[in-house]
Amino acid sequence: MNSLSRWSGFASLAALAMVPLHEARAADGQAWDWSIAPYVWASSVTSDIRVAGQPVQSEVEFSDLIDALDYGLLMHAEGQGDDFGMFADLVYMKVSDEKNGELIRADASLTSTLFELALVWSPGAQRNIGFEGFAGLRYIENKVDATFQLATPNQPSERRIVDPSTADFLLGARYTAKLSDRWSATFRGDGSFGESDGTYGAAVLLQYQTSGGAWAFGYRHLDYSSDALDQVLTGPAVGYIFKF
């Protein structure tokens, strides 16, 4: 297990509009409904990066990533009218650590920015219920500064600075079913294409309505690929939706 995979994986942990945290309530004919939702995605991470000319792969758990976090912000915001809406997602974080593995010793830091902005089309009779399509932008930037020392005797250390950024066209759909007065379920799939080699996502989300908003619980999967980093993130997510 290598350190760089830990940090690059945690940076992608948010890629935020991946989990559609939104409020499922009806207000047809009224002003737009707005919501904002801080959340956590407890994802396991499989990463692939080339170090000293050799491919390196690892799989790490969420608990392994927490102790490397310096600071971070994960937030989702959404507005919805009768027929159209919009959402924005932002993740900004920095992680750094020193790790000694069986094959590689590493000292690295990563600063990551992930942003999504999309317009939502809602053809149903009730807001946030039924089918919705969305299209927009997915932007991902990761800056890794790492020094590696292979465990093989007499091997020199190598410093790698990886600073990839990708801007993609985002296209997806989601379907929300009302299960009861308080419970609803959302299923989402999306893909983004452009400067990356392709990013694909899927999510399922349960929402429990409260007097001031809603709790959201779900599961999210994301497969991201670029020239510098390939990552698969999958795991549960939880957040609270503040509505106004």
Map out the domains of the chain as residue ranges: 3-243
Helix (H, G, I), strand (E, B) or coil at 63: helix
Closest to 19 in 3D by CA, of 137, 199, 188: 188
**10 confidence band (pLDDT: 50, 70, 90):** very low
- What is the per-residue pLDDT across 69-84, written as a single tens digit (0 to 9) for each? 566 677 899 999 999 9
Once rounded to an integer, what is the mean pLDDT over residues 14-29? 42
> What's this model's pTM, rounded to 2 decimal places?
0.73
pLDDT at 222 exceeding the cut of 50: yes
Taking the CA of residue 4 as centre, how many other CA atoms within 13 Å lie in the half-sphere pointing to its CB? Answer: 29
Cα radius of gyration rounded to whole Å, the chain: 19
Question: 2.40.128, 3.40.190, 2.20.28, 3.30.70: which CATH number matches 3-243?
Answer: 2.40.128
Helices (H), the chain: 3-12, 62-66
Q: Give the pLDDT confidence score for residue 88 in this predicted structure.
A: 95
Percent of the chain with pLDDT over 90: 35
